[in-house]
Structure 1
Amino acid sequence: MTEVTQAAPALKEIFNRARLQHIAEQTAAVYPAFDVPAFLTHVSKDLDNLSLMQRLNRVSRGLHACLPDDYVATLDILYKLAPRLNSGFVTLVLPEYVALYGQHDFERSMQALKYFTAFGSSEFAVRHFLRLDFGRALQLMQDWAQDDNEHVRRLASEGSRPRLPWSFRIETLMRDPSPVLPILDALKADSSLYVRKSVANHFNDITKDNPDWVLDQIESWSLDNPHTAWIARHALRSLIKKGDRRALTIMGAGHAAQVRIEQLSVSPEQVRLGDRINLSFRLTSTAAHSQRLIIDYALHYVKKAGGTSAKVFKLKTLNLAPGESVRVSREQQIRDFTTRAHYAGKHELDILINGECLARTFFDLTD
C-alpha cells in the first residue's frame, strides 16, 4: 500500500470561510444589529488570492464597515468579542482594527492594545503607535514591562523589536537601540519563558545592526540567574553562528577547542531532494582540562548560478572532560522551503567548534 502524506493547510486558511462565519456569528452575538451577510460578502471577496496578513486586514476592515461609526462604541463591542473568538491568531483582527481606525485617540487605543494582547497579541498594531508618537508610546510600553500579566510584559518587548517578522522595521531603533534598554533591562530575568523568548529575539534582532551594543549589555550581566543565562544564550545565537569571539567568550567557549574529530561521515553520500542525510562523528578531548564546547555545522548550499551560500545549524553545547569522547549525530531532510530552494551539486558540510572549522565533508545532491 502506498502511504499518502497530506500537506498541512496553508497558514492563510486560519481565515477560511468557516472561520469568517464564526467571526460574524460571534460579533452578532454581542452586537445584534451586525449585518452578517454584508460582512461575509465584504471579507469573502477574492479570498483565495489573499495572503494570511491580507485576510487579517480584510476582516478588520469588514468589521469597520458593519459596526458603528463611533470609535468608542465600537471598541466596547470589540472588548466583548475578544474572549468569544476561537483562535488566538484570529484575535489579531482586533488590534489591527485599533491600528487602522484608532490613531486619533492615542491613550484609549493603547489601552485597548494592552487589553487585546492577552487574547492573542498586539505586537503588530502597537508599532503603528510607535511610528505615530515614538516617545509617548515607548513610555507606556516601559510601564507595561512591569505589568503582572506576562502577555502585557511580552508586548513591551515584542512590539518594540527593530526587525519584527511580518511587520515594518523601526528605523529609529535600528540606528540606536538605547531607548528600549529600560524595557529589556526590566525583563532580562523574567520568570515567564514566553517573555524571555521575546527578549532573546529582541536582542538577536539588535545584533544585526548593533552587535557591540548587545555584547556590551550582556557582558555587564550576572549569568548566575538561570533565566538571564537562558536569554543571553539565545540572544547571542546569530553572533555565535558567525564565530564572534566576544559572544563565544560570554558563553564560556571563547578558547580554541582542543579536540580530535574522527569517523566523520554523511550518509548517504548521494541524495535526491526530499531525502534525509545523517551526519555523524566522534569527538575526543585532547586537553588536560575540562572544555566548554559549542558545536555547530555549516551547510554550503549550491545556488542557482553555481556558487554556494552557507547556513549554520546548531548541534549541541557540552562540557568535555580531559580524554572524554562523545558521539555527535544529526539527521536533516534536504527539502525546499519558501525561503530556500535547492540545486544539484556538491554540498560542503563544515564542523564548527567554538567558532572554528575543524573538519569538513561533502555530499552530492542529484537531480
Structure 2
Amino acid sequence: MNELIDKGAVVSLIRVLDATGAGTRWEHLEQAAASLDGLSLRERTDHVSRALLADLEGAGSLPGDYPTAAGTVRRALRDVGFTGWILWPVSETVVTLALASKEPGAFEDCLTLLAELTPRLTGEFAIRRLLAADLDRALAIVQTWTGHEDEHVRRLASEGTRPYLPWLSASPGSPHGLLPPFLSWMPSTAIRANTSGARWRTISTTWRATRPIP
C-alpha cells in the first residue's frame, strides 16, 4: 500500500509539473522522491506535500499564493499522466495554500479544484481540512455536487463528508442537509451503497436528533 506513492510517482509528478511552464525548479520534490523509504502512505503524502510547498515557496507562491499554484495544477490536468495516488499530496498542497490565502474566493475555488481533480484521484481526503475550517461554507458548495453529471464528483460529496475515513480524523459535525435525503436520486448504486451503511445511518440519525435539518 505504501508503494502507491513511490519514487516513480514523484518523478512522474515532476515531469508533469515541469511541462506546465511554471518555471519552477522542483528540487525539493527531487529530494523527496529519493527519501520515501520507511514511510507509510500517509507519511509519504505529507512528505511530498511539504516538498511541493517548499518548491512553490522558492518560486514565490507562498505565503498564501493559492492562485498561482491552482493555475499550475489546472494546467497539469491537461496531461493524462497526471493521475493516481500522487494527487493526494497535490490536493493537500492546494488546500494548505487556500487556507493560508488572503485572496477572495480561494476557499471556494479550492473546493472547485478538488472536484476537478477527483476523477483522477478522489479528493475525499484533502477536503476534510476545508470542512474543518468552515463546515457551513464548504457544505454550501458540496451540496451542489450531489446532482453533478460526473459520478466521481457525486462520490466526493458523499464520501468526503462521511464521519470516518481511513488515514483521517473524524469529520467535523455532520453533513447536515446532504445525506441521506439525496441518496434516493444519486444515480450510482455504488455511491448509494457506500453512503447508506448501517454505521453511517446510525451516526447521521444521532446527529440529526440534536441538530434538525432546517
TM-score tier (shorter):
0.7 to 0.9
Mapped to 2, the partners of 1:213 and 1:106 lie a distance apart of 26
Mapped to 2, the partners of 1:210 and 1:97 lie a distance apart of 30
Identity of aligned residues (%): 28
The structure 2 residue matched to 1:190, chosen from 178, 181, 186, is 186
Unaligned runs of 5+ in 2: 209-214
Unaligned runs of 5+ in 1: 1-10, 215-367
Partner of 1:115: 116
> Could you tell me how far 1:92 is from its partner in structure 2?
2.0
> Which structure dedicates a bigger proportion of its chain to helix?
2
Contact 1:162 1:206 in 2 (8 A): no
Mapped to 2, the partners of 1:81 and 1:194 lie a distance apart of 29
Deviations 1:49-99 (A, max 9, x none): 211011112222222222341321111111122353354222222221122
The structure 2 residue matched to 1:14, chosen from 4, 25, 33, is 4
Partner of 1:165: 166
Cα separation, partners in 2 of 1:36 and 1:196, compared to 1, 3 Å: same
Residue 92 in 1 paired to residue 88 in 2? yes
Partner of 2:38: 49
Mapped to 2, the partners of 1:168 and 1:189 lie a distance apart of 29
The structure 2 residue matched to 1:79, chosen from 46, 65, 74, is 74
Contact 1:117 1:151 in 2 (8 A): yes
Deviations 1:133-165 (A, max 9, x none): 111111211111111111111111111101122
Partner of 1:59: 48
Mapped to 2, the partners of 1:73 and 1:36 lie a distance apart of 15
Partner of 1:101: 97
> Could you tell me how far 1:171 is from its partner in structure 2?
4.6
Mapped to 2, the partners of 1:171 and 1:39 lie a distance apart of 32
Mapped to 2, the partners of 1:123 and 1:12 lie a distance apart of 18
Cα separation, partners in 2 of 1:15 and 1:133, compared to 1, 3 Å: same
AA aligned to 1:52 is: L
Mapped to 2, the partners of 1:32 and 1:111 lie a distance apart of 21
Cα separation, partners in 2 of 1:43 and 1:61, compared to 1, 3 Å: farther
Contact 1:83 1:119 in 2 (8 A): no
TM-score w.r.t. the length of structure 2 is 0.80
Cα separation, partners in 2 of 1:25 and 1:196, compared to 1, 3 Å: same
Partner of 2:152: 151
Mapped to 2, the partners of 1:150 and 1:96 lie a distance apart of 22
CA RMSD of superposed structures (Å): 2.4
> Could you tell me how far 1:194 is from its partner in structure 2?
3.8
- Classify the secondary structure of the residue corresponding to 2:77: helix
> Could you tell me how far 1:213 is from its partner in structure 2?
7.9
Contact 1:187 1:196 in 2 (8 A): yes
> Could you tell me how far 1:193 is from its partner in structure 2?
3.2
Cα separation, partners in 2 of 1:39 and 1:197, compared to 1, 3 Å: same
Contact 1:157 1:183 in 2 (8 A): yes
How many correspondences in the alignment? 196
Mapped to 2, the partners of 1:65 and 1:94 lie a distance apart of 13
Mapped to 2, the partners of 1:150 and 1:44 lie a distance apart of 36
Question: Bigger relative contact order, structure 1 or 2, given CA contacts below 8 A and separation 6+?
Answer: 2
- Classify the secondary structure of the residue corresponding to 1:172: coil
> Could you tell me how far 1:29 is from its partner in structure 2?
1.3
Instruction: Look at both structures and tell me which one has the larger radius of gyration over its CA atoms.
Output: 1
- After superposition, residues 218-367 of structure 1 pair within 5 angstroms as none
Mapped to 2, the partners of 1:197 and 1:44 lie a distance apart of 40
TM-score w.r.t. the length of structure 1 is 0.49
Mapped to 2, the partners of 1:188 and 1:166 lie a distance apart of 29
AA aligned to 1:118 is: P
Cα separation, partners in 2 of 1:29 and 1:52, compared to 1, 3 Å: same
Contact 2:49 2:92 in 1 (8 A): yes
Mapped to 2, the partners of 1:60 and 1:165 lie a distance apart of 19
- After superposition, residues 203-214 of structure 1 pair within 5 angstroms as 204-207=199-202, 209=203
